[in-house]
Amino acid sequence: MNTFRRAESNDIQNLVVLINQAYRENLGRSWTNEQHIIQGQRIQPQQLESLLTDPYFELWVCEKSTDDLSKQHNMLLGCIGLTHDQDDVSQLEIGTFAVQPDYQNQGLGRQFLTFIEQHIHQRYSEVHTINMYVLNVRHSLIAFYERAGYQQSGYTEVYPTDLDVGIPAVEVHLIHLQKNLLE
């Protein structure tokens, strides 16, 4: 059974592996892989540690309970982050969204997106808009979000090479997508 919870500091090492595998390694059924687009790690442990201490950021994980004869443990299947807009409480940004490659293409990403949208609706009634940024060359990912009700706003940003999230191997920029929760 899959459960959702807030990430904790003892999740950092597993989350760094999960996020980097989902974005930068061509493993399993991964269709979120950007290895041919962006070189280098997607996230470092110190970056994730900093995010988890940021009062304007929440990181949620999805985990699956597994039984082992010697012990019972939970396996992280994915994560998704929410960044609160410090200047406009009516907006949140989704990012740091990753699903373990072996569990992609099974509806878990959609399930996770639905969970986080319901969480936003229940916890943050003042939020009317969810924002996100996607690489312009990730057409299938953009289409996934559009099927989930996100729309391209027409706004773009340069890829943030200064944030140590990898170096583009091809020319890319970020496309802004948003979902109006009042509609």
Contact between 78 and 25 (Cβ < 8 Å): no
pLDDT by 10s per residue, the chain, length 183:
789 999 999 999 999 999 998 887 765 555 566 777 888 888 999 999 999 999 999 999 999 866 654 444 578 999 999 999 999 999 999 999 999 988 888 899 999 999 999 999 999 999 999 999 999 999 999 999 999 999 999 999 999 999 888 889 999 999 999 999 987
Here the tokens at position 78 are 């994915």
CB burial class (10 A; 0-12, 13-18, 19+) of residue 58?
buried
The tokens describing 163, both together, are 């944030």
Does domain 2-180 match CATH 3.30.1550.10? no
pLDDT at position 68, please? 55
Q: How many residues does the chain have?
A: 183
pLDDT for the residue 73: 58
The 8-class DSSP code of residue 107 comes to T
Contact assessment for residue 66 and residue 73, using Cβ atoms and an 8 Å cutoff: yes
pLDDT at 31: 59
pLDDT value for 91: 97
Confidence (pLDDT) at 30: 57
CB–CB of 128/90 below 8 Å? Answer: yes
* Per-residue CA distances from 170 to 34, 96, 99 (Å): 11, 21, 24
Q: Are 61 and 5 in contact (CB under 8 A)?
A: yes
- The strand pair at 129-135 and 91-99 is best described as parallel
